[in-house]
Amino acid sequence: MKILNFVKKQKDKLVIGFLVKCLIILCIPLVYQHFAKTYPTDLPPAPAPAPVEEENAFVPTFANLSEIQTMDDILAHLFYVDSTAFAMAEDFPIEKLASLDLSLNLVSSVPRVLITHTHSQEFFIDSEEGNMSQSIVAVGRYLADILVGLGISVVHDTGIYDMVDGELKREGSYERMEQGVLRILEEHPHIELIIDLHRDAAPDGVHLITEIDGRPTAKIMFFNGITRRNIEGEPKDLDEFFNPYIQENLALSLQLFLTANEMYPNLARRNYVKAYRYSLHLKPRSILVEVGANTNTLEEAKNAMYPLSRLITQVVGVGEAQ
């Protein structure tokens, strides 16, 4: 009898021990969630898409630029600085940027303009996923055709830099793009203007749209990299992403933005600044342009290319054929 009682007690202990272990295992996720919420890690949050802004009563142009006096004015009306970037007033000498001579003779028998797409796999709300004839690359082809019609020789780079072994891979796409573009620049040394054409992302229900010449037209945004991160309110220069052309890049974006406000009010969103350099370090006249968003149609994006071409020829120039 004593032996039976002993065996029973041992079985009870095993059962209780098993139940305690099960309870601990079940509680681990709850404990983790509590501490994950209460004590966040040091990892920075994933970059958010550019903010969607309401129309501002003050529309900056070359004519009223003198009204922008302070850093607060700059951030309110000209440049939106992402929280990942550390920007200072000296980064934005507005009068100097607005008056910097960026003119070129784009009409030439040799290519002067390169259109590329670091992210080729960007599609629109009515696109067939994976169909490159309905992607941002197709929009770039349309822009190239417009510029060629103006007598400007263009190289359209259709290299795919955001896929590896048939799989989408955005990480490293700018580095892969750089290698492809450097080969093109070596083959076409007269190229002086690089346009990296993208499509932005927007929340469901947000439609980045305006109307130009009676056509629904996707809004555009000029994008800059400052190569300086914001680390808990302190600047950290990104020396490994050196860009000798930051001021020229900012000047080109600013002049295009101000010209857009004069020629096509409500077409251009406020210029966007983030921490890294992106595709903007290969030539002084380099621009990254976001055309609409995933909520726009392909037609709306294409409709933005004619006004964009006019902005480019207005700011950079056309000149006489060489």
Residues 6+ positions from 211 with CB-CB distance below 8 Å: 217
pLDDT tens for 148-191 read: 999 999 999 999 999 999 999 999 999 999 999 999 999 999 99
Averaged pLDDT of the chain: 87
Q: At a CB cut-off of 8 Å and minimum separation 6, what does 155 contact?
A: 111, 113, 114, 115, 184, 188, 191
What is residue 216's DSSP assignment? E
pTM > 0.85: yes or no: no
Q: For 288, phi and psi rounded to 5 degrees?
A: -110, 120
Q: What is the pLDDT of residues 75-111, one digit of tens each?
A: 999 999 999 999 999 999 999 999 999 999 999 999 9
Instruction: Summarize pLDDT for 35-44 with one digit per residue, the tens.
Output: 333 323 233 3
Which DSSP string do the residues of 78-140 spell out, in sequence order?
TEEEPTTB---GGG--HHHHHH-------B-SS--EEEE-S----B-TTSPTT-GGGBHHHHH
Query: Closest Cα partner for 160 from 143, 137, 139?
Result: 137
Per-residue pLDDT of 50-83, as tens digits, reads 555 555 689 999 999 999 999 999 999 999 999 9
Is residue 194 within 8 A of residue 181, CB to CB? The reply is yes
Q: Does the pLDDT of residue 290 top 70, yes or no? A: yes
Considering only CA atoms, give the Rg of the chain. 26
Closest CA to 238 of 227, 247, 224: 227
How high is the pLDDT of residue 32? Answer: 34
- The H-or-E segment that residue 64 falls in is none
- Residue 222 pLDDT exceeds 50: yes
Superfamily of domain 65-315: Zn-dependent exopeptidases (3.40.630.40)
Tell me which residue has tokens 């850093």: 71
> pLDDT tens digit string along 226-277?
999 999 999 999 999 999 999 999 999 999 999 999 999 999 999 999 999 9
